């Protein structure tokens, strides 16, 4: 049943019916929610005595911010599958955010979305770690490159150091930072000496810093005599820290009383260490080098700023990832925060569309009403949905007024609406939508004219690239993909690849057997026109125009055309033999019967005799001259297939059959194939479009309808 319904949606434009909904005023928000949730309706104005349009206030969200929010919501829906629902029944619970607040919510949402994706995708986390390592290496290279320029401009007072001044200066600066941290921790421990637990934590942190500094000093490849005194003083401080930790852990009052004295001694030692560091730096350096140093540091900061910012973000992401990866409760909290932010975005983006939707709600003294169009297949579903949301306080009415067409196409077929809906228009409800048929025959016509394995595969790959890029190019890419597939298949039958015949054709060679390719083109034309006439008959039946199936383009025309075509095929196209063939005689009888049918139909419709004869003349001209011209028009498929193969022969003549693989040969073949794809590809596309629009669609398609715009499109609902 579902397959049948989907096929109906694909082939037929579903008619719509006008509906009206009446309910009490207190159901306003529920009615808005119900319409937005259902989605597949188009709202319109209504003119009913006693009801007036309600005045609405415009929202304060600027269009640019709303577009950003909608784009982010579409991205979230694509990544995570669905968006949360928002209940607007109580307006007091729906906050209204300013544009700045919305942008901040957007930033937080994107950040948490990245963390959630990292939790789900281990490869993404590994990629971030690798990216961070590469960034650190890049910063080190930048640092070495910039600071090494100081070596040539730096002078040292002492000759005991063989390494560059730059490295010594950087080490001294880093040591100063660590020693300042030690002093601050020791001072904090002194102030908190009444709290042993806190003092213990502070001392442990200070010990870690001191041990880290000692390891760095030991690992330096600089002359050790420069840092001997600093290292000795640092060892004293480490011993003092260990002693202090024992005092804190001791429960004896005598030893506890020594804590204050030892902390004071530690402060003095650290201050002496800082003085020693300053003396060491001042004894090594001259003031001349400070100015070039400032220039180099500012240059480093300027070049490194974007890298440092990127490094900060990566480190933040990775630290968050590690935190949530090891703590399931934190991960769940992150997910809750993310969906709460998404819900805020959904609510904010829907406030404007709810305001626009409200302008279609009409009010009386006690009631409200809304009117619009709904597909006839969804009338019962809409009524049930409204009653489930509004209870029995809803009056749902439907009229038989003719409205817009509801068209729902599968994603694979939808791009071909560029050739039908965009170029010609939309069918009325209850008529066949030609898009599905065009999506089948259009690529085949292109493939017959442009049969080449290599160029077809190139076209296929190019189409897939455009499809992946998305945006406006996605539809073009989705059209190019089946075109490339058909071109490849036909090229396989022709035995042609990149303008060269690489093996004996499986079907035939267009340039060596033109009669066969012309016969193929005419055969395709017969099938194409038969489908068009069958579609026309179907439209007449669906529209209840049963008499029209006897006129031109109906069942008699189809039978006459097929019998005449069989006679021509049976006699190999010999005109004299075809005219004397019994099959052609049957076609002639059907032809005369169709002229009588046209007269009878005209009479039954109330047309005059002269008007009936004019319709007969028009039908005769269309049936004889028009059908013959339509059929022969398909010979252009053969013509361009032959010209494509002939172009390949010309290229072979230019480069030579036995040229071998050389740079010049590759270059010429590349240019010739690009020329063929650019020129012949466009011409083949134009000719396939011409056959589709003129020979095929004119037989049955009348663009007399208007497309229904569901509320999701009408009001840009996320």
CA distance 451 to 509: 10
Query: Is 118 contained in some domain?
Result: no
d(CA 30, CA 87): 9
Same domain, 430 and 401: no
Residue 486 clears pLDDT 90, i.e. is over it: yes
Q: Are residues 397 and 437 in the same domain?
A: no
448 in the same domain as 517? yes
Higher pLDDT, 443 or 270: 443
Shared domain for 491 and 637, answered yes or no, is: yes
In this prediction the pTM is 0.63
pLDDT at 579: 77
Q: How far apart are CA 708 and CA 718, in angstroms?
A: 18
DSSP line for 506-548: SS--TTT-HHHHHHHHHHHHHHHHHHHHHHHHHHHHHTT-TGG
- The per-residue pLDDT of the chain, averaged, comes to 77
Could you read off the pLDDT of 491-534 as tens digits, one per residue?
999 988 888 888 888 888 888 888 889 989 999 999 999 999 89
Q: What span, in angstroms and rounded, lies between the C-alpha atoms of 593 and 587?
A: 10
Question: How far are the Cα atoms of 113, 322, 508, 509 from residue 503, in angstroms, in the given order?
Answer: 54, 60, 11, 10
Q: Structurally, how many domains does the chain consist of?
A: 3
Domain CATH number, residue 383: 3.30.70.120
Please state, in angstroms and as integers, the Cα–Cα distance from residue 146 to each residue in 248, 296, 305, 309, 611, following that order: 47, 7, 14, 19, 94
pLDDT category at 604 given cuts 50, 70, 90 is low
Report if residue 670 sits inside a domain.
Answer: yes
pLDDT category of residue 442 using cuts at 50, 70 and 90: very high
Q: Does any domain span residue 663? A: yes
What tens digit of pLDDT does each residue of 27-46 get? 888 888 888 888 888 888 88
**Domain shared by 467 and 382, yes or no:** no
pLDDT at 296: 58
The domain boundary, picked from 285, 317, 338, lies at 285
Average pLDDT of the residues in 86-109 = 67
Q: Are residues 546 and 640 located together in one domain of the fold? A: yes
Residue 25 falls inside a structural domain? yes
CATH for 269:
1.20.120.660
Q: What is the pLDDT of residues 528-580, one digit of tens each?
A: 999 998 998 888 888 777 777 767 677 877 888 888 888 888 887 777 787 78
Contact 215, 174 (CB under 8 A): no
Q: Which domain holds residue 578?
A: 414-699
Q: In this predicted model, which residue has the larger pLDDT, 166 or 418?
A: 418
Residue where a domain stops, chosen among 285, 317, 337: 285
Neighbours of 699 (CB within 10 A): 20
In a domain, 534, yes or no: yes
Taking the C-alpha atoms of residue 668 and residue 672, their distance in angstroms, rounded to an integer, is 6
Domain boundary among 346, 371, 406: 406
User: pLDDT tens digit string along 302-353?
Assistant: 666 777 777 777 776 666 666 656 556 666 777 787 888 887 777 776 666 6
pLDDT for res 1: 31
Residue 498 is assigned to a structural domain of this protein: yes
Q: Is the pLDDT of residue 190 over 50?
A: yes
The phi and psi torsions of 211 (rounded to 5 degrees) equal: -65, -40
Pick the closest to residue 184 from 272, 275, 276, 271 (CA basis).
Answer: 271
Confidence (pLDDT) at 698: 87
């Amino acid at each position: 049943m579902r397959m049948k319904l989907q096929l109906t949606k694909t082939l037929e434009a579903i008619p719509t019916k006008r509906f009206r909904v009446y309910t009490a005023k207190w159901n306003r928000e529920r009615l808005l929610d119900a319409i937005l949730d259902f989605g597949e309706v188009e709202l319109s104005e209504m003119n009913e005595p006693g009801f007036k349009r309600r005045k609405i206030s415009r929202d304060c969200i600027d269009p640019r911010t709303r577009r950003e929010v909608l784009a982010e919501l579409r991205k979230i829906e694509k990544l995570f599958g669905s968006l949360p629902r928002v209940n607007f029944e109580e307006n007091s619970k729906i906050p209204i955010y300013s544009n700045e607040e919305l942008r901040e919510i957007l930033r937080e949402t994107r950040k948490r979305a990245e963390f959630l994706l990292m939790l789900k995708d281990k490869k993404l986390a590994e990629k971030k770690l690798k990216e961070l390592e590469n960034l650190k290496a890049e910063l080190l290279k930048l640092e070495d490159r910039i600071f090494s320029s100081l070596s040539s401009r730096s002078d040292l007072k002492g000759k005991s150091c063989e390494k560059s001044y730059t490295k010594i200066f950087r080490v001294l600066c880093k040591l100063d930072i660590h020693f300042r941290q030690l002093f601050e921790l020791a001072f904090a421990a002194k102030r908190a000496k009444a709290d042993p637990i806190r003092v213990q934590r502070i001392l442990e942190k200070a010990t870690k810093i001191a041990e880290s500094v000692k390891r760095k000093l030991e690992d330096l490849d600089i002359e050790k005599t420069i840092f001997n005194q600093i290292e000795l003083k640092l060892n004293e401080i480490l011993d003092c820290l260990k002693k202090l930790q024992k005092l804190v852990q001791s429960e004896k009052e005598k030893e506890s009383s020594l804590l204050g004295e030892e902390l004071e001694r530690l402060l003095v030692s650290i201050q002496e260490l800082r003085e020693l560091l300053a003396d060491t730096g001042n004894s090594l350096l001259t003031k001349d080098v400070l100015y070039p140093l400032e220039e180099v540091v500012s240059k480093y900061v300027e070049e490194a700023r974007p890298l440092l910012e990127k490094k900060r973000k990566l480190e933040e992401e990775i630290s968050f990832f590690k935190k949530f990866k090891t703590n399931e409760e934190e991960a769940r909290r992150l997910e809750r925060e993310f969906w709460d932010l998404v819900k805020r975005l959904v609510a904010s983006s829907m406030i404007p569309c709810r305001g626009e939707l409200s302008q279609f709600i009409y009010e009386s003294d006690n009631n409200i009403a809304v009117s619009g169009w709904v597909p006839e297949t969804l009338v019962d579903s809409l009524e049930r949905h409204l009653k489930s949301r509004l209870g029995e306080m809803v009056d749902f009415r439907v009229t038989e007024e003719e409205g817009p067409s509801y068209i729902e196409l599968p994603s694979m077929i939808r791009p071909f609406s560029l050739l039908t809906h965009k170029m010609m228009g939309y069918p009325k409800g209850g008529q066949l939508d030609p898009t599905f048929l065009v999506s089948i025959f259009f690529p085949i016509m292109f493939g017959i004219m442009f049969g080449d394995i290599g160029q077809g595969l190139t076209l296929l790959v190019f189409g897939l690239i455009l499809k992946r890029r998305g945006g406006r190019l996605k539809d073009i890419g989705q059209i190019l993909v089946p075109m490339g597939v058909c071109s490849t298949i036909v090229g396989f039958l022709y035995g042609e690849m990149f303008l060269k015949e690489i093996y004996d054709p499986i079907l035939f060679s267009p340039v060596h057997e033109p009669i066969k390719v012309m016969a193929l083109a005419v055969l395709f034309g017969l099938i194409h026109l038969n489908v068009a006439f069958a579609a026309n008959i179907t439209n007449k039946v669906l529209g209840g125009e049963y008499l029209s199936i006897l006129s031109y383009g109906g069942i008699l025309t189809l039978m006459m055309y097929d019998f005449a075509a069989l006679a021509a095929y049976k006699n190999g196209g010999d005109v004299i033999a075809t005219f004397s063939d019994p099959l052609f005689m049957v076609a002639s009888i059907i032809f005369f019967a169709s002229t009588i049918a046209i007269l009878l139909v005209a009479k039954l419709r109330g047309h005059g005799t002269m008007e009936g004869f004019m319709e007969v003349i028009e039908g005769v001209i269309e049936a004889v001259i028009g059908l013959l011209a339509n059929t022969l028009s398909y010979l252009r498929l053969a013509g361009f297939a032959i010209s494509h193969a002939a172009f390949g022969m010309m290229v072979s003549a230019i480069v030579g059959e036995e040229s071998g693989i050389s740079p010049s040969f590759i270059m010429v073949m590349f240019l010739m194939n690009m020329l063929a794809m650019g020129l012949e590809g466009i011409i083949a596309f134009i000719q396939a479009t011409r056959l589709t629009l003129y020979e095929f669609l004119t037989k049955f398609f009348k663009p007399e309808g208007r497309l229904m715009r569901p509320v999701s499109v009408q009001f840009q609902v996320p």
